[in-house]
Structure 1
Amino acid sequence: MRSVIAGLFIFLLTVSPLTGQELNCRVSVNAEQVQTSDRQIFEDMETALEQFLNNTQWTSDVFEPSERIGCNIIITLQNTPTLGYFSGTTQIQSARPVFNSNYESILLNFADRDWQFEYIESMPLNFNENIFTSNLTSLLGFYANIILGMDYDSFGELAGNPFFQKALNIANTAQTSNRPGWDALGSTRNRYWLIENMTNQQMQSLRTGFYRYHRLGLDTYMQSGDDARSTILTVLKDLQQIKQQYPNSIFVISFLDAKRVELINIYSEGELNTRRQAFEILANLDPANRAQYEQMLK
């Protein structure tokens, strides 16, 4: 196995034993900041959310157990202002396997800072993508479809369209709740702007690039590392053009958050000219992490 693949960051997932449909998602609830004597509710919450995500059939496709999409939802609760009401932040992560290797590539690593919901122990989690029933199930349904859309996009050009449309519908419906994160106001790094970027026709090259990066780049890496690096470089050039047009694009930021370590390892080998081009683009796209990208030239 090539040293660069061996050195790539491995996305480790603790797999839930639940019987699933399309997702194999692990939910973790960190409630250290919440002052309450009833700690059992947080274990119940983890189990209920995992069951909702893993047992719901999100698509009409048939997934074998080995094909389920690995993902993590890490919820950090910060306070509970009233009984049964919680707020905090959440990290949503997903990954997909790379052909001819034991490596999994991170597709999504997104921080949602506006996670607010109601939860009572053993409460049923009812969901309808066309009707707002609760903020919790809207949040979970939204990210389930984002995870599916990104996974499908990585295997087929724009194959994630149906799932991004569902996520957009969920977001539009949830706007009636006046909960944070669903509208254009405030942060440019919220759910509204994430799905806006993913369905914006002017940014479609990001999604076609997502396919080229994974299916035509990473999946061919073991056969020809240099060809894969060249293919991925064209994706980075497209990313640079989008960043120039949309400097605050959360899709670009999210892509780099997921791929930073992977890209550094990919371009730590290969032709120096290709590595220099990749470095210049990435240092321009992500100047705060320029020092990390300098490893590519050593």
Structure 2
Amino acid sequence: MGRSLIISLIFRGMKKLLFAILFLGLGLRVSAQELNFTVIINSDRARIQNTNIFDQMKTSFEQFLNGRSWTSDEFRPEERIKGNLLITINEVPQVGIYSATVQIQTVRPIYGTDYESLVFNFADRNWNFEFIESQPLEFNRFTFLNNISSLLAFYANIALGLDYDTFENKGGDPFFAIANDIVNNAQQSGRAGWVQSTSDRRNRYWLINDIYTSSVFSSIREAYYLYHRQGLDILQIEPDQAYKNILEAIKLVANANKTQPNGIFTISFMDAKSDEISNVLKNAPLEIRTEAVELLLQVDPNNARKYNELLKS
């Protein structure tokens, strides 16, 4: 069962169903645009007088992400993948050139609830780009055109891939393949963040390597499906099975971490899920909580206090 059908079923259990029925009943065109990203630009550190340029950036970047079709699937407006792109401008070394960090977050609806689960939470610490007013942003999967469209298209496909993975086991393969092509093409530019670096593993090269290229972390992609589709989505109707599946998902992440500790994909998963796991498992049976905490302390020791609280419930 593919992502489009599954998410349609999910929305039947949500309050937005009435709008969906009305939308279809009126015979309106179904939107093919898949993303609903909000771009936030923090320019406090940028000492330039023309701050209007950042408003133009926001509009341009949002149009690039939200205004095009990234897949051949049909998405109704309420089904579009929500995300935030927080860009912090660290420096403007010269006119038109910017140095920034980027925080990317995406969420996914959970069946039968109004809750949205944080799926992806990643900090990209090294992005340098050139932006010119009224600059058109073009994208070609097979060619590096500029450092803006490449980064935005890269994270668009990462967001799509992980979202599809939560609805179907390994369902995100087509999007990760595109993201991998983007990295391969961008490496020729010599720009930071696209190359294999031993000093900085929190970059685009290592992210797609861990998600798509390396077999070591493939179990984490299985965990995305098990945790969301077979865990959170059925928690309201089959809590015992849901808790077991969530525990199995944590085991898959722990196994990957045991094989290769501190992989960027593992860190990204826990950055998105640590708070949620702590809240979801509060009502789980003691044996589930006990085993989960033992694994979580191995994978994510920085949040040990949070996980140990689960044993006090």
Q: TM-score, with normalisation over the residues of structure 2?
A: 0.88
Shift of residue 184, structure 1, vs aligned partner = 1.2
Structure 1 residues without counterparts, runs of 5 or longer: 1-18
Matched letter for residue 207 of structure 1: R
Paired position in structure 2 for 1:16? none
Within-5 A mapping of 1:242-257: 242-257=256-271
For the 8 Å contact 2:41–2:87, the answer to whether it is kept is: yes
- The answer to whether structure 1 residue 287 and structure 2 residue 287 are counterparts is no
- Distance, in Å, in 2 between the alignment partners of 1:295 and 1:98 is 25
Matched letter for residue 254 of structure 1: S
For the 8 Å contact 1:95–1:107, the answer to whether it is kept is: yes
Deviations 1:223-262 (A, max 9, x none): 1222211111011111111101111311100000000110
For the 8 Å contact 1:188–1:248, the answer to whether it is kept is: no
Moved more, 109-118 or 287-296: 287-296
- Distance, in Å, in 1 between the alignment partners of 2:261 and 2:138 is 38
- Distance, in Å, in 1 between the alignment partners of 2:309 and 2:131 is 46
Paired position in structure 2 for 1:78? 90
Within-5 A mapping of 1:1-298: 21-185=33-197, 186-199=199-212, 200-298=214-312
Matched letter for residue 206 of structure 1: I
- Distance, in Å, in 2 between the alignment partners of 1:266 and 1:225 is 10
Q: TM-score, with normalisation over the residues of structure 1?
A: 0.92
For the 8 Å contact 1:269–1:296, the answer to whether it is kept is: no
Matched letter for residue 305 of structure 2: A
Shift of residue 270, structure 1, vs aligned partner = 2.0
Matched letter for residue 258 of structure 1: A
SS of the residue corresponding to residue 229 of structure 2 reads: helix
Shift of residue 92, structure 1, vs aligned partner = 0.3
Shift of residue 45, structure 1, vs aligned partner = 0.5
For the 8 Å contact 1:22–1:58, the answer to whether it is kept is: yes
Matched letter for residue 271 of structure 1: P
Shift of residue 273, structure 1, vs aligned partner = 1.3
RMSD: 1.1
Shift of residue 20, structure 1, vs aligned partner = 7.3
- Distance, in Å, in 2 between the alignment partners of 1:288 and 1:205 is 22
Matched letter for residue 119 of structure 2: L
Deviations 1:90-123 (A, max 9, x none): 1000011000111011110000001111101211
For the 8 Å contact 2:106–2:121, the answer to whether it is kept is: yes
For the 8 Å contact 2:40–2:86, the answer to whether it is kept is: yes
Paired position in structure 1 for 2:21? none
For the 8 Å contact 2:120–2:268, the answer to whether it is kept is: yes
- Distance, in Å, in 2 between the alignment partners of 1:233 and 1:270 is 10
Percent of aligned positions that are identical: 45
Structure 2 residues without counterparts, runs of 5 or longer: 1-30
Shift of residue 64, structure 1, vs aligned partner = 0.7
Deviations 1:61-97 (A, max 9, x none): 1111111000000000000111101011110000110
TM-aligned CA distance change 1:156 to 1:226, over 3 Å: same
For the 8 Å contact 2:216–2:260, the answer to whether it is kept is: no
SS of the residue corresponding to residue 75 of structure 1 reads: strand
Moved over 3 A (4+): none
